[in-house]
Structure 1
Amino acid sequence: MADNPSFIEVQKSLAGIGYPASKDDLVKYAQQHGAEEGIVQALQAMPDREYDGPSGVSKEITKTS
């Protein structure tokens, strides 16, 4: 698998989303806002739970490598 997207890439794709947000909400938002496939895949690989903010999302994405 390719390297995971950077924190900045992910946060650009999720700019404007309201937190807390579920994994499904994050994936749908990224898809609807034209996120690259690697970002969508990284979000889909995260545990299915609610995320309180960008730092929680970034922690999970860095773990899923």
Structure 2
Amino acid sequence: MTQGLGGESPSNVERYLAGVSYPATKGDLLQAAQANSAPRDIIQLLERIEQDRFGGPQDVMKGYGRLQ
């Protein structure tokens, strides 16, 4: 599996976003990640994504990719 920022693969990040209904805000993503017991490093990654609105998981992964 490809490792991403901070050693986290994109699929690992997505795992903590289960249950998000898109379109979603960054707040929605953070709330879902916390509800899915995401570790602090995942929460910090999501906080660093510059976008505030996401049309779907692909937008989250694009934002994540820009951090690398």
Into which bin does the TM-score normalised by the smaller protein fall? 0.7 to 0.9
Gaps of 5+ in 2: none
TM-score of the pair, normalised by structure 1: 0.84
Aligned length: 64
Q: Evaluate the alpha carbon distance shift between residue 3 and residue 24 of structure 1 in structure 2; reply closer, same or farther with a 3 A threshold.
A: same
**Matched residue type, 1:38:** D
- The 5 A counterparts of 1:43-54 are 43-54=46-57
Residue aligning to 1:29: 32
Question: Root-mean-square deviation (CA), in Å?
Answer: 1.5
Which structure is higher in RCO with an 8 Å CA cutoff and minimum separation 6? 1
| Identity of matched residues, % | 33
Residue aligning to 1:59: 62
